[in-house]
A and B are shown apart, each in its own frame.
Chain A
Amino acid sequence: MHEMGIVSGILDASIGAAERSGAIRITEVSVTIGELTEIVDDALHFAFDALTPGTLAEGATLTVTRVGARSRCGDCGTEYEHGRFDVSCPACGGYAVQLLQGRELSIDGVEIDLPEDGTDPIAQTSDASQE
């Protein structure tokens, strides 16, 4: 259940960025996860729902974009998509492969609500940076 650690990482970055922008609420967190990582979507959502109450992200939606695995063959140069279990080149059968994508674990961004009283978020950003 290392998804707890993964979600902690997601929330550290998301809440930090939202606070620096003066947000009062995070409504959506978007992440990209490669197919070759050991991350299970259900466990990720479970951890997200467990860790967000009492934070700026309480009630937010977690949107996960999955990225397939893609490699370049070092023997013949072919670029191809593949599954988890066979990384060999479909053109020449070579195994000298260089992974181009599939191990992503990144936070793309957050959807935030700003205060409606006209507070200047930029001013809050500079306040935050002086702390």
Chain B
Amino acid sequence: MRLDINKPILDRNDTLAEENRRLLDEHGVFVLDLMASPGAGKTSTILATIAALRERYAIAVIEGDIASRVDADKISAHGIPAVQINTGGACHLEADMIRRALDTLDLDTLDLIIVENVGNLVCPTEFYLGENAKVMILSVPEGHDKPLKYPGIFQIAEAVVLNKYDTLPVFDFDEDEFRRVVHSLNPSAPVFALSATKGDGVSDWAGWLSARIESTRS
């Protein structure tokens, strides 16, 4: 006997993510989901973003890693609340993990939560967490061909950060080709070239993010 179901496969995750979304909306908190490969500079980009926006917004960070609290400790050292999620092997964050992290934060006092997803260019793309925006970071040393190899993450991202831009002279990275392919995959996504550790280009990225936050408040 045939039984029709016709439901999204990630129905349970999506339902929990919608609950996260409602909870965050009630408290007026904007959530950014940052995705990148290991070593692209997610934590450095978060620290640079905090430095640029902490006068304007109360920020907290949710760190997703397979193990350790190295990243959360780095963020906490700057006086920013940080929750570490250890996925214990899972290659991406899911909505229920975010919910448990949200329960440990004082949402009334926050404006912005930055979620550092597990370092991976594939798996995080399919999982809605209740975020307002997904943004992906690629670093120059990874190579300009990554959008051709991992198109999904470039298509789901609302904006793309090109990090470690100060290393451009020493790598064989074709920036024009990179921008052309990103544009063909995702025509509306802006690309922000920056150096998170040196600070170059961070203000354009932070300006885009604060405009995006304000657009959800109006």
A residues near B (Cβ < 8 Å) are 1-2, 5-6, 9-10, 12-14, 17-18, 21, 23, 31, 36-39, 84-88, 95-97, 105-114
Contacts of A36 in B (CB 8 A): 151-152, 155
A25 to chain B, nearest CB (A): 11
Distance in angstroms between the alpha carbons of A9 and B94 in the assembled complex: 12
Q: Say whether B13 faces chain A, with CB atoms less than 8 Å apart.
A: yes
Majority secondary structure, B binding face: mixed
A129 to chain B, nearest CB (A): 16
Contacts of B9 in A (CB 8 A): 6, 9-10, 13, 31, 105-107
Majority secondary structure, A binding face: mixed
Given contacts A38-B122, A109-B5, A110-B3, contact A84 B151 (CB under 8 A): yes
Distance in angstroms between the alpha carbons of A91 and B13 in the assembled complex: 38
Q: Is B10's CB under 8 angstroms from A105's CB?
A: yes
Q: Say whether B4 faces chain A, with CB atoms less than 8 Å apart.
A: yes
Q: Is B1's CB under 8 angstroms from A9's CB?
A: no
Q: Is B2's CB under 8 angstroms from A106's CB?
A: no
Contacts of B184 in A (CB 8 A): 85-88, 95
* Interface pairs (20), CB distance under 8 Å: A2-B90, A5-B127, A6-B9, A12-B11, A21-B3, A39-B126, A85-B151, A86-B184, A86-B185, A87-B185, A95-B183, A95-B187, A105-B9, A106-B7, A106-B9, A107-B7, A108-B5, A108-B6, A111-B2, A114-B1
Q: Which of B99-155 contact A (CB under 8 A)?
A: 122-123, 125-127, 148, 151-153, 155
A115 to chain B, nearest CB (A): 11
Q: Say whether B92 faces chain A, with CB atoms less than 8 Å apart.
A: yes
Q: What 0/1 readout, one digit per residue, does chain B (1-40) give for beta carbons within 8 Å of chain A?
A: 1111111111111000000000000000000000000000
Given contacts A38-B123, A86-B184, A96-B187, contact A105 B3 (CB under 8 A): no
Distance in angstroms between the alpha carbons of A6 and B186 in the assembled complex: 25
Q: Is B148's CB under 8 angstroms from A85's CB?
A: yes
Q: Is A105's CB under 8 angstroms from B2's CB?
A: no
The residue among A2, A88, A105, A106 with the most chain B CB atoms within 10 A of its own CB is A2
Known: A2-B126, A109-B4, A112-B3; 12 extra A-B contacts, CB below 8 A, are A2-B122, A5-B94, A9-B11, A12-B11, A37-B152, A38-B153, A85-B148, A86-B184, A88-B184, A107-B7, A109-B6, A110-B5
